[in-house]
Amino acid sequence: MNAKNLVVGALLTALALVIPISLGGYLRIYIPPFSATLASHVPVMLAFLINPLVAVMVGLGSTAGFLIMMGPVVAARAFIHVVFGYIGAKLVQQGTPLETALMITAPVHALGESLVVLPFGFTLYNAIVLVGAGTLLHHLVDGAITVVLARTVLARALFRVRN
């Protein structure tokens, strides 16, 4: 990994920590037992554009941020950011457009978060309908934010963005 990728990855990891820790109170949507923090997926989604290792690093940062602020259940859900981040970054690395990679990883993300809450006592309904559907919608909203950011002039300088 070159120095530029490491620095951008570190900045995205810092954002993945700051969003739940400092901005969670402002950006959080809570519909018990589901919670979502708007823009919390954006750092890992932007990491798709760097490489899989950076995406994993950012996903781990997100997991740590949610563990600090929300506890083990939400941190377990956030750990799925590592999985969909790796998959999305591999897809982009292989030439898949960012938008397509975001759409492919949406069901992986939603299903992963649905399954990971089951050991914590969530009912199947709450896991699939509330967490899964909520995560899918949240992924799509954060994906739209990511695409807008990735298409800016600044992002073009930092990431390998194709039209």
pTM: 0.93
**Dihedrals φ, ψ of 33, to 5°?**
-90, 10
CA distance 87 to 154: 25
Predicted confidence at residue 156, as pLDDT, reads 65
> Given CA atoms 43, 142, 23, 135 in this order, what sign does their dihedral have?
negative
In a domain, 80, yes or no: yes
Strands (E) across 73-159 are located at none
Render the burial of 5-17: b for 16+ CB within 10 Å, e for the rest. beebbeebbebbb
In a domain, 82, yes or no: yes
In a domain, 91, yes or no: yes
CA distance 94 to 125: 36
What's 102's domain CATH number?
1.10.1760.20
Structural domain of residue 62, as residue ranges? 3-158
Number of structural domains found in the chain: 1
In a domain, 163, yes or no: no
pLDDT tens for the chain, residues 1 to 163: 899 899 999 999 999 999 999 987 889 998 888 899 999 999 999 999 999 999 999 999 999 999 999 999 999 999 999 999 999 999 999 999 999 999 999 999 999 999 999 999 999 999 999 999 999 999 999 999 999 998 885 666 666 655 4
CA distance 95 to 91: 7
In a domain, 8, yes or no: yes
- Closest of 65, 143, 79, 76 to residue 106, by C-alpha: 143
Predicted confidence at residue 160, as pLDDT, reads 61
Predicted confidence at residue 55, as pLDDT, reads 98
